[in-house]
Structure 1
Amino acid sequence: MATTPHVMLACESLALAGGVERFVCGLANAFSRQGMQVSVATAAPLPADWPYPLDEAVTRLGGLPGKSGRLDGVAGHESHGQILVTQWRIGRTIARLACEARPDVLILNGLTTAASVLLADRSLAPRTICCDHNHFDARSRPWRWLRARLYPRVAAVVSLTEADAARFRALNPRTEVIPNASALSAEGPSLPRDPRVLAVGRLVAQKGMDLLLAAWPQVLASVPGARLRIVGDGPLRAGLHAQAAALGITGSVEWVAHSERMADQYRAAAVFVLPSRYEGMPLALLEAQAMGVPSVAFDCPTGPAEVLSADTGLLVPPGDTAALARSVVELLVDPARRQTMAEAALARHRAMFSAERQVARWTALVRSVASRTHGRGLEVAA
């Protein structure tokens, strides 16, 4: 086997500023800097503007315009039949790109994408690594049924959390636990005095920004000068703006669709909040910890409890907006506690969630899969 395998990372779209897209671009760059031949493949047309930078050496492969339903990344009001047709196109497009590029290792990101690609061409399975990027039960029953039948065939599976690892290993014993990691880092916390609270995430139901807005009036009642900044965009934007107006909190909420200077966003925050209904291994929470920002998060099924410890942030019962508000207030009114948590967060990031640690584990897995599959041909399914 060549010492520098060709690895392809694939996902539905690279036009979004989301966690999966950030992961794909970051890992592709890391592999490229090690001298590997790297390509990224998307079922959607290649975007004119990339939310996350890609090294020039990384090959970009995209689907054809007008060929794939909602591949702009924003789901419309589609019937179940239309969704199935769209997913089939996604699978066929990425499978075709993989067969043309002939990588030694194919990394499929997201359950729906992985299942669609493997259904389109099962010959890809022996050189494929699947990573769902969400907790085990996040998708509907049909997708879980497909995973149970397709994942045992693939070369390896990556679980982002220890909490889900046993369930993935029951499907495929070649399961590795590789947590996400932050590409951001800081030498020390910034410890801003302004009571600014930061949330980062796509404006979709999963991320729970509606729950954070519902909690915000209670925060303002205790800390009138508090300000909330939400960085992210998505299909629920108009509804969330309307919710803020109905709650009378518009003047204290700032909306930022996308920021190319995320380190500055974290350093300006006294507290970070993750109000998600469910997660895999949340990158935004990891970034906040890496930048030394005390955090408050719902203790959803997987993710936050593995990122935070009692000395780096506060976990509250899922969906409990009153508890969320109380915890945010606790930190906003206690600068000394915030400083202690900020320093502990930096130490925890360096010990457990550094980008170097993540890349080393992914590299070892890719080389292992490549050594087992090198020389096998790829054929487009009939």
Structure 2
Amino acid sequence: MELDRGSGRVGVAPGGGALPAARYLILASRLVPDRDGGFTISVLRRAIDMAAAGADVTLLTVDPGETADHDAHRAEWVRRGLLGSRESLRNLFDDVRSNPSWLRRAAIPGPVPSSPWPTRPIVDDSGAPVLDLPVVSGDAAWHLTDAPVRVYDKGAVIGWLPGFGGLYRAWLNAVAAEATPGQDRVPVVLCEARQIGETLVTAGDPPLDAGIRVLHTTHACHVLSPLRWDSPMDAAWERWFEIADRFDGVLWLTPSQRDDVERRFGAQRLRSFVVPHPAPVVSAPSDPVSGRIVILNSLIPRKRVDHVLRALPAVRAAVPAAHLFVYGDGASGAELRALATELGVEDAVKWIGHVADPETQAWASADVFVLASTNEGQPLVVLEALAAGVPVVAYDMPYGPRDTLAHGGGVLVPDGDIDALAAALIDVLSDRERRAELSASGRAAAAAMDAAASMRALGTAVRAALADPVSR
């Protein structure tokens, strides 16, 4: 579908795909190989799925790294098949080094306000300064300060922009205004980071172009312990909810999280849509090793790998072949290894560490996958396991496992109940017929949660944003 700006009519785009015709810009903070876990992979996969659905889509990042580093990241993503071409991933600071004209046009002329913050220079390939970034430290919300970004031309300061927000909005306005030959398509931004999202809809110069639609995705649980719908939130989430009604749509990964938000704030507070991650296509052949329990996540307290280790002695007593393969690393690694020794299961645990392409190893040989986190958004690993035919045993945490396993493929365990976790693992590992049933139902569930279903859900949200944009 395509919006006629003059009449406000919405028409069918050539091809009649799930996504309306628009200029899609997926905006993230950074997309660095092997950083930020499932977030990075989910953003790249979304872009691939959108392009496969016929969308005109460009990825945008704002991390102030060097162009050579960004080029290396692009090359690696292309190698892994998660980026169609290097040109489809742009970075603000690469753009400003290569052509700073948009920055200079947006700069506010006149004296630059004083600032308590030191600055970091950004220079072009010749070493000439292009801009100075404020370096905001301490407890300050760096992305919301008005600390000036000094703008240069021919070595002299010619003006300034108010903070990162002014810089981000100026760049997005410039990118959105770039003409698509033969087309006049409305720019639709999918913002993937809360801090960046706040800067886009906050008042300031330059304002975000009124013709740009902004849909904000979510990737994480919004509440703190005890993780109920009315539990406290941290300051960043509280601040984000204060301005979230300025987005043309908020995209939740699960119905459960959307329902909890609406229960808390009212169904009319936000324009909410459920756009889940799609289950990927897993091509690795399934050859499960009997008794192999797989964990695939960072080794940090939130993932509660210690719960799985504490369940392992009971599992081994019932299923002597049971053993644990742990993919991932993190700050808790040494502590977890010590716990395995203390529990007497160190001989049954193999610490794989980080691998760039775990799918070819983990899912092909896994007998069962276990997830014991305190909270998630919608964990990609659960979808990957289902698609590979690997049964899932997961705590019933917010958010993701309950919604994702609703149509089969796994066992939900009361949150935090280690004995129940052990019992579920024993059940799956010791009953081969039960495992086969879960494997088959998981594959069927994953097939129904494919990229086409995710794109249809996204298309619904985009059509609403095109037809009825919010007033900012």
What is the one-letter code of the residue matched to 2:220? N
Gap change, CA 1:124 and 1:212, over 3 Å in 2: farther
Aligned partners of 1:63 and 1:201: how far apart in 2? 31
Q: What is the 5 A alignment of 1:1-382?
A: 1=3, 4-15=21-32, 16=35, 18-33=37-52, 34-43=54-63, 45=65, 48-49=72-73, 50=76, 53-56=82-85, 57-61=87-91, 82=138, 84-88=140-144, 92=165, 94-95=168-169, 97-102=171-176, 104-115=187-198, 117-119=200-202, 123=208, 127-137=213-223, 140-166=233-259, 167-168=261-262, 170=267, 172-185=269-282, 190=286, 192-254=288-350, 255-309=352-406, 311-351=408-448, 353-366=449-462, 368-370=464-466
Aligned partners of 1:109 and 1:216: how far apart in 2? 37
Aligned partners of 1:262 and 1:216: how far apart in 2? 24
Alignment-derived partner of residue 71 in structure 1:
none
Gap change, CA 1:145 and 1:322, over 3 Å in 2: same
| TM-superposed deviation, 1:222 | 2.7
Do 2:279 and 2:387's aligned partners in 1 also have CA atoms closer than 8 Å? yes
Gap change, CA 1:192 and 1:215, over 3 Å in 2: same
| TM-superposed deviation, 1:285 | 0.6
Aligned partners of 1:293 and 1:120: how far apart in 2? 48
| Secondary structure at the counterpart of residue 219 of structure 1 | helix
What is the one-letter code of the residue matched to 2:223? D
| TM-superposed deviation, 1:323 | 1.5
| Secondary structure at the counterpart of residue 272 of structure 1 | strand
Gap change, CA 1:237 and 1:105, over 3 Å in 2: farther
Aligned partners of 1:21 and 1:67: how far apart in 2? 26
| TM-superposed deviation, 1:263 | 4.4
What is the one-letter code of the residue matched to 1:13? R
Unpaired segments of 5 or more residues in structure 2? 5-12, 14-20, 95-118, 122-135, 146-162, 178-186, 225-231
Aligned partners of 1:216 and 1:184: how far apart in 2? 31
Unpaired segments of 5 or more residues in structure 1? 69-79
| TM-superposed deviation, 1:26 | 0.8
Structure 1, residues 71-115: CA drift from partner, whole Å, max 9, x if none? xxxxxxxxx962535555896465454244227122122444533
- Larger CA deviation: 284-293 vs 201-210: 201-210
Structure 1, residues 154-206: CA drift from partner, whole Å, max 9, x if none? 1101111111223256364421111111223469x836242111112233333
What's the TM-score once normalised by structure 1's chain length?
A: 0.81
Aligned partners of 2:220 and 2:268: how far apart in 1? 16
Percent of counterpart pairs with the same letter?
Answer: 25
| TM-superposed deviation, 1:152 | 0.6
- Larger CA deviation: 293-302 vs 309-318: 309-318
Do 1:201 and 1:231's aligned partners in 2 also have CA atoms closer than 8 Å? yes
Gap change, CA 1:216 and 1:232, over 3 Å in 2: same
Gap change, CA 1:142 and 1:260, over 3 Å in 2: same
What is the one-letter code of the residue matched to 1:132? T
| Secondary structure at the counterpart of residue 299 of structure 2 | coil
CA RMSD of aligned residues (A): 3.5
Gap change, CA 1:150 and 1:332, over 3 Å in 2: same
Aligned partners of 1:195 and 1:120: how far apart in 2? 57
| Secondary structure at the counterpart of residue 172 of structure 2 | helix
Gap change, CA 1:131 and 1:251, over 3 Å in 2: same
| Secondary structure at the counterpart of residue 140 of structure 2 | helix
Gap change, CA 1:35 and 1:278, over 3 Å in 2: closer
Do 2:390 and 2:442's aligned partners in 1 also have CA atoms closer than 8 Å? yes
Gap change, CA 1:342 and 1:232, over 3 Å in 2: same
Do 1:9 and 1:109's aligned partners in 2 also have CA atoms closer than 8 Å? yes
Do 1:161 and 1:281's aligned partners in 2 also have CA atoms closer than 8 Å? yes
Aligned partners of 1:60 and 1:82: how far apart in 2? 30
Aligned partners of 2:144 and 2:255: how far apart in 1? 31
Structure 1, residues 21-80: CA drift from partner, whole Å, max 9, x if none? 11110111222342404123243536534466211051321558x969xxxxxxxxxxx9
| TM-superposed deviation, 1:9 | 1.7
| Secondary structure at the counterpart of residue 30 of structure 1 | helix
| TM-superposed deviation, 1:213 | 2.5
| TM-superposed deviation, 1:224 | 3.1
Do 2:328 and 2:355's aligned partners in 1 also have CA atoms closer than 8 Å? yes
| TM-superposed deviation, 1:130 | 1.2
| Secondary structure at the counterpart of residue 123 of structure 1 | coil
| Secondary structure at the counterpart of residue 8 of structure 1 | strand
- Larger CA deviation: 339-348 vs 103-112: 103-112
Gap change, CA 1:210 and 1:194, over 3 Å in 2: same
Do 1:29 and 1:58's aligned partners in 2 also have CA atoms closer than 8 Å? no
- Larger CA deviation: 91-100 vs 315-324: 91-100
| TM-superposed deviation, 1:344 | 0.9
Alignment-derived partner of residue 74 in structure 1:
none
Do 1:186 and 1:292's aligned partners in 2 also have CA atoms closer than 8 Å? no
